[in-house]
Structure 1
């Protein structure tokens, strides 16, 4: 049995997979906010509960919204800031008395979709998370690319390409920079952009629903979002040239993205034709929990 944990900023999810990939059990709890020790106990409690219910002992992979330093073993670049500077792998291995494989949550998402999801037929898959934060992961021939600095695929903290008047002033990012892709393309960023232009405080689902019903202000907000996402993805395509890009996170549920993004990317791609496919996730917007389990494939 393989166990996968997705340690997110708002929820912690665990899945148990049989050796053939069948889902045996899935559970989800709220993430303790800003409390590292409570987060450790929550993860350990989920693992112990699932193993008790299944009557099996499993390998364990964990996806996190950050990366593990290759030098210190401490967590870096996490938008769940209570994890930063903590020896997460060491502490969980001590608590659970087993080896743990740890990876960025976007890497886990990309791996899940590359193994048996929307990128199963592709040699190179770029998986992105559009949620509370923005992340990316690269899988080549069903293997996660970690990179020399453990940041492969981390496009969310590159600058948004070709800032237009509507993109200014550059929004500050928690990482200390300004104008990061994440500050434009996360769920909170979409809502904030709509508020700046309209004074209306609406969430993503409401903006999408109103745009579908003909609300011109909400339609304009989504068009700005699609234009920015198209520019950002074109930069990835120009460097990585993936066969498939799979969208994940809550904003991947906006169905119009799959119709509109190719045309938003194409003018910025250094090619006479855009062959990269942009697809929704086969396993839903929380597919990454399955990828965490597949870290033991």
Structure 2
């Protein structure tokens, strides 16, 4: 029996899954453990190998290959991890180390790419845009990220992640959106992530009002219509989302954009956010790209890893 093995490596939790087919209902086993990243790189590797051993023991199966969703990027040129929120991974040859420890081939992609692959293969995209060619997956939450999935050509129509020469495919969160905006850990100012992520919007609200509010509170106060600063904050989100996503549409012209992360629950992004993008695209204000809500929830990362 062919099986699909995936590991979603997070800063706090690490999850493993074994699928009997690329379908959400084909889960043979699913396990979650603490990452314990504060104990260092070698400990993370031990946690992963221990989780794989558990999956093998409880299924009686062994993987032929394993896919990994990671909180960062594998740099093909340097053969090392980079841009990881779990900083102990940066500069480490994790792909080679995991292949050696597990004694099987390993594929690695960042969490946004895995999200995009899962939603394209077994999530919302085949339901709504079955004839797609290109899909862009967006993560908007604590951070902002993205992933590109392209349908295969010829006889093999299976979708694949477009990682890029330097592993930067889909990385829209660290392009400058607001000139001379807030400083970002990447070294630039006014990155997309520093403008329309959840923490960035909360920071803006506090700067304007002097009050700490969660995104849920800000959205609620906006909907009630009795908080001018909440209205300014949500309008800021919509305007800059439209401007930022218009660049993706102009470059990729995808069939669909799937929104994930905590901010993807804001319904206005799929209506007013699209209208704001209409102002900026190079197509006489016509947008045929479908803006879609995700279907797989927090399963997308680990399912996408298995599909690598």
TM-score normalised by L of structure 2:
0.86
Partner in structure 1 of residue 282 of structure 2: 270
Task: Determine if the alignment matches structure 1 residue 3 to structure 2 residue 5.
Answer: yes
Against the structure 1 CA distance between its residues 30 and 173, is the aligned structure 2 distance closer, same or farther, given a 3 Å change threshold?
farther
Secondary structure of the 1:4 match is strand
Separation in 1, partners of 2:31, 2:230: 35
Separation in 1, partners of 2:231, 2:15: 33
Correspondence for 2:160 among 143, 159, 181: 143
Against the structure 1 CA distance between its residues 183 and 91, is the aligned structure 2 distance closer, same or farther, given a 3 Å change threshold?
same
Correspondence for 2:209 among 167, 182, 198: 198
Contact 1:248 1:285 in 2 (8 A): no
Alignment: residue pair count? 289
Partner in structure 2 of residue 60 of structure 1: 66
Separation in 2, partners of 1:117, 1:213: 33
Contact 1:250 1:285 in 2 (8 A): no
Unaligned residue ranges in structure 2 (runs of 5+): 152-158
Runs of 4+ in 1 over 4 A off after TM superposition: none
Correspondence for 2:143 among 133, 143, 158: 133
Partner in structure 1 of residue 30 of structure 2: 26
Against the structure 1 CA distance between its residues 37 and 201, is the aligned structure 2 distance closer, same or farther, given a 3 Å change threshold?
farther
Unaligned residue ranges in structure 1 (runs of 5+): none
> What's the offset of the Cα at 1:290?
0.9
Contact 2:222 2:231 in 1 (8 A): yes
Q: Which whole-Å deviations, capped at 9, do the CAs of 1:173-206 have from their partners, x for residues lacking one?
A: 1111211111122222222222222222222233
Contact 1:67 1:103 in 2 (8 A): yes
Q: Which has the larger radius of gyration?
A: 2
TM-score normalised by L of structure 1:
0.89
Partner in structure 1 of residue 156 of structure 2: none
Contact 1:172 1:178 in 2 (8 A): yes
> What's the offset of the Cα at 1:159?
0.7
Partner in structure 1 of residue 234 of structure 2: 222
Q: Which whole-Å deviations, capped at 9, do the CAs of 1:247-297 have from their partners, x for residues lacking one?
A: 1122222233222211111000111211111111111155122111011xx
